[in-house]
């Protein structure tokens, strides 16, 4: 993969650059926020690893500017800020996943592979109501309006549409997204679901995703 690393800490940055290159990836390491944003907006990357605490521009500012441009490149946040509120804020701003420092490098590789795997899908179209999900070009539309979804939101909607009429459990979503059962240890799923609902609401589909209390989520059931 072609990866952009935006990290100002020289030790962490070098660790990431060396480890990712040894894993067979092409890495561009940028040490400040302004230059990092410029590279993110002018070049194509398979994924971005983004520190939150950066000089010039913060990671949250970079994340917001990338997403407001409609750029859906998978973004993995690295943060020393480990509270639930801080993690949720990053996910709500458009990140696909996060890791709290200090992290295990094999876990970082696994999460990178997970969020980038969602962008490589066969040419299949799913439809429910006015919503159309096209796997060939990773687009979701409602009539003539295109929804700007992150790769994680796209992947969640894909699974729900595949399972239309059935309950999709939190465990199923975790395994679909990360091939792991994180139930009971994080509220990441709820954050992404709420953000996806908000985007659907803007195209007048606010009740498309329904919560089945104690079980999970479903599409298209009353």
175-196 residue pLDDT tens: 777 765 454 445 788 888 999 9
110-132 residue pLDDT tens: 999 888 876 555 557 888 888 88
- How many CA atoms lie within 13 Å of 134's alpha carbon, on the beta-carbon side? 10
pLDDT band at 221 (very low <50, low <70, confident <90, very high): very low
- Over the chain, what is the mean pLDDT? 85
The separation between the first and the last C-alpha atoms of the chain, rounded to the nearest angstrom, is 43
Average pLDDT over residues 158-165: 86
- Please tell me whether residues 9 and 94 are part of one structural domain: yes
Strands across the sheet containing 216-219: 168-169, 216-219, 209-212
pLDDT band at 220 (very low <50, low <70, confident <90, very high): low
Query: Of 72, 100, 117, which residue constitutes the final position of a domain?
Result: 117
Q: How far apart are CA 157 and CA 178, in angstroms?
A: 15
**How many domains does the chain fold into?**
2
- Please tell me whether residues 106 and 144 are part of one structural domain: no
CATH number, domain containing residue 160: 1.10.10.10
Task: Name the token pair of 142.
Answer: 């409602």
61-104 residue pLDDT tens: 999 999 988 888 999 998 887 677 777 888 888 899 888 888 88
Query: Of 94, 117, 140, which residue constitutes the final position of a domain?
Result: 117
pLDDT band at 34 (very low <50, low <70, confident <90, very high): very high
- Please tell me whether residues 74 and 158 are part of one structural domain: no
Higher pLDDT residue, 182 or 154? 154
CATH number, domain containing residue 48: 3.40.50.2300
> Which domain, by its residues, includes 38?
2-117
pLDDT at 68: 87
SS3 category, 141: strand
Geometric angle at alpha carbon 181, from 180 and 187, rounded to 5°: 110
Residues 6+ apart with CB under 8 A from 10: 31
Q: How far apart are CA 36 and CA 32, in angstroms?
A: 6
- Please tell me whether residues 138 and 203 are part of one structural domain: yes
Per-range mean pLDDT, top range of 19-28, 135-144, 168-177: 19-28
pLDDT at 119: 59
């Amino acid at each position: 993969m072609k990866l952009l690393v935006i990290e100002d800490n020289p030790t962490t940055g070098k660790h990431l650059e060396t480890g990712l290159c040894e894993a067979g990836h092409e890495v561009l390491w940028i040490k400040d926020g302004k230059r990092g944003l410029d590279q993110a907006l002018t070049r194509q990357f398979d994924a971005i690893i983004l520190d939150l605490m950066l000089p010039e521009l913060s990671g949250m500012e970079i994340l917001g500017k990338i997403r407001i441009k409609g750029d859906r490149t998978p973004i993995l946040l690295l943060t020393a800020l480990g509270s639930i509120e801080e993690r949720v804020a990053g996910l709500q701003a458009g990140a696909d996943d996060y890791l709290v420092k200090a992290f295990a490098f094999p876990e970082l590789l696994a999460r990178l592979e997970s969020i980038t795997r969602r962008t490589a899908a066969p040419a299949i179209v799913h439809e429910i109501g006015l919503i159309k999900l096209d796997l060939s070009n990773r687009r979701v539309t409602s009539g003539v309006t295109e929804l700007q979804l992150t790769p994680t939101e796209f992947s969640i909607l894909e699974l729900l549409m595949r399972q239309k009429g059935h309950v999709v459990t939190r465990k199923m979503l975790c395994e679909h997204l990360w091939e792991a059962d994180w139930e009971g240890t994080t509220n990441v799923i709820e954050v992404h679901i709420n953000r996806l609902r908000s985007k659907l609401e803007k195209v007048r589909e606010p009740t498309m995703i329904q919560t089945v209390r104690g079980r999970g989520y479903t599409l298209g059931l009353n």
